[in-house]
Structure 1
Amino acid sequence: MLSKVVTMEEILEKFHDNQTIMFGDWHGEFAADDIIDRLLEKNIKGIDAIAVSAGMPDQGVGKLIKAKMVKSLITTHIAYNPIARDQMFAGELDIEFSPQGTFSERIRCGGFGLGGCLTPTGVGTDVEKGKQKLTINGKEYLLELPLRADIALIKASKADTAGNLSFRMNSRAICSNMAFAADLVIAEVEELVELGELGPEEIQVPAPVVDMVYVRTGETRHMCPMWQRLKAKAEGGKE
């Protein structure tokens, strides 16, 4: 099976202005920081972001919001990022709030080809504005539409060269749903192992839905021998 491990330069070629991007970080934790930092340098514009929160000003997707690279955000809350709040009130950042369970389910629907989900959450609140409402057995529900993206940018604890992903404890967060709901899935990982080293119980995202794997800088002690040889060759050294 071909390796999906790529360089930062190959990853950056996939990003351009006006894309819809899902960010798997959780309030800035578990973020693909190496890639996000390079996106800051590339300074792409007009991102339509989908993330659990607006992160923090100096963490995760919050860095891109601070740099005014994000034009809209679908999220569950922005409490940890006062810059996102200020941009929202100034009309610089369009924010759609979605209850956290609904948010997750909309992404799952996007990944599995469903037309949406029905939920009573948000009925009678601002959340229902502009949405179709249905009554089933005397109870009102909102029709929440699926979410998909051009790119899902997630961070995993471990990957093999084929692209199978494993997460440490709750760092999995929303990533396993997002990986099914994007046209291109890019994973930044801490540790790279050979194909076959991850047991079935360790794999939370299967290789077929992952397109690119990037090994975080400074974590070379975790690289499998194959990637060490590839990295050395790319840098002009001896294999």
Structure 2
Amino acid sequence: MNKVTPTIDSMIEQIHDGASLIVGGFGLCGIPEKLILGLRESGVRDLTVISNNCGVDDWGLGLLLENKQITKMVASYVGENKRFEQQFLSGELEVELVPQGTLAERLRAGGAGIPAFYTATGVGTPIAEGKEERVFNGRTYIMEKSITADYALVKAWAADPIGNLVYRKTARNFNPLAAAAGRKTFAEVESLVHTGALDPDQIHTPSVFVQSIFVGAGYEKRIERRTVAR
């Protein structure tokens, strides 16, 4: 039951050209930065990536954009990355924009085995084009399909050897949703505790969703945009 691997190589080598990835994090908070760096070094290409956003130009998923490893991006916010804009406008990058709450629910539904659901978000906008509409209690809703992917990459604060994960504060964000929606989930963690040390009531991702764990070190804790007072 020990899912701890000494290096990320055994995880990265499983990710093939053309794979789909769900990547946890929000901005630069809670991103699996070591796994992203490993993907960049591997050179794997033609990736479809589902994540809240695509990082910044010089960090996070922006590194994979710089290396032109991403073919399609499914995201809810893309405003911090100039390379994203350039590749989209040049036709190099296919983009599917999804309202943030809808993206979260599509991931949650995927992890729960629910194929689709109805939401009022996006009705009457380009988001609704080509999607089934139904009326419930006098209000129009559109059908959204759930999201699953070949792999999920997440970042946790603590884990035990069998794969139970705990996230810290806002770094929790999309990580639990991502972890449940990947067919294989790889987690990088900041600390490893012995089995039984985590309070069962405080575990955010149960071990059944996690296939492999890597304990990282030297995390940079970058700030996406600094706001300072004069």
What count of residue pairs does the alignment treat as equivalent?
A: 218
Contact 1:188–1:214 under 8 Å retained in 2: yes
Matches within 5 A, 1:215-230: 215-218=215-218
Q: Does 1:145 align with 2:145?
A: yes
Alignment of 1:1-239 (within 5 A): 2-6=1-5, 7-218=7-218
The residue number in structure 2 matching 1:228 is none
In 2, distance between residues paired with 1:147 and 1:195?
A: 31
Distance 1:34 1:180 in 2: 20
Larger radius of gyration: 1
Name 1:231's counterpart in structure 2.
none
Query: Who is 2:227 aligned against?
Result: none
* DSSP-derived class of the 1:29 partner: coil
- Please tell me the residue identity of whatever aligns with 2:204: Q
> Does the CA contact (< 8 Å) of 1:28 and 1:62 recur in 2?
no
Superposition deviation, residue 97 in structure 1: 0.6
Paired residue secondary structure (2:213): strand
Q: Distance in 1 between matches of 2:218 and 2:189?
A: 11
User: Which residue identity lines up with residue 5 of structure 1 in the other structure?
Assistant: V
Distance in 2, matches of 1:5 and 1:47, equals: 25
Question: Cα distance, 1:218 vs. partner?
Answer: 4.5
- Equivalent position SS for 1:198: coil
CA distance in 2 between partners of 1:33 and 1:23 (Å): 10
Moved >2 Å (runs of 4+)? none
Instruction: Tell me the distance in 2 between the aligned counterparts of 1:101 and 1:197.
Output: 33
Per the TM alignment, residue 29 of structure 1 is displaced from its structure 2 partner at its CA by 2.4
| Helix, strand or coil at the partner of 1:28 | coil
Deviations 1:100-134 (A, max 9, x none): 11000011111111121111111111111121111
TM-aligned CA deviation for residue 206 of structure 1: 0.6
What stretches of structure 1 of length at least 5 have no aligned partner?
Answer: 220-239
| Distance (Å, rounded) in 2 between the aligned partners of 1:12 and 1:142 | 37
SS in 2 for 1:27: coil
CA RMSD of aligned residues (A): 1.2
Distance apart, 1:99 and its partner CA: 0.5
The residue type equivalent to 2:2 in the other structure is S
Secondary structure class of the residue paired with 2:29: strand
Q: Secondary structure at the match of 2:201?
A: helix
Deviates more, 1:43-52 or 1:9-18: 9-18
State the alpha-carbon separation in 2 of the partners of residues 155 and 91 from structure 1. Answer: 31
The answer as to whether partners of 1:120 and 1:142 remain within 8 angstroms in 2 is yes
- Paired amino acid for 1:207: S
Shift of 1:59: 2.0
Does structure 1 conserve the Cα–Cα contact (< 8 Å) formed by 2:9 and 2:38? no
Measure, in 2, the Cα distance between the counterparts of 1:196 and 1:115. Answer: 34
Q: Which amino acid aligns with 1:133?
A: E
- Are 2:104 and 2:177, in contact at CA under 8 Å, matched by a contact in 1? yes
Post-superposition offset of 1:28 = 2.6
Partner AA of 2:108 in structure 1: R
Deviations 1:119-178 (A, max 9, x none): 111111111112111122321111000100000000000101111000111111011111
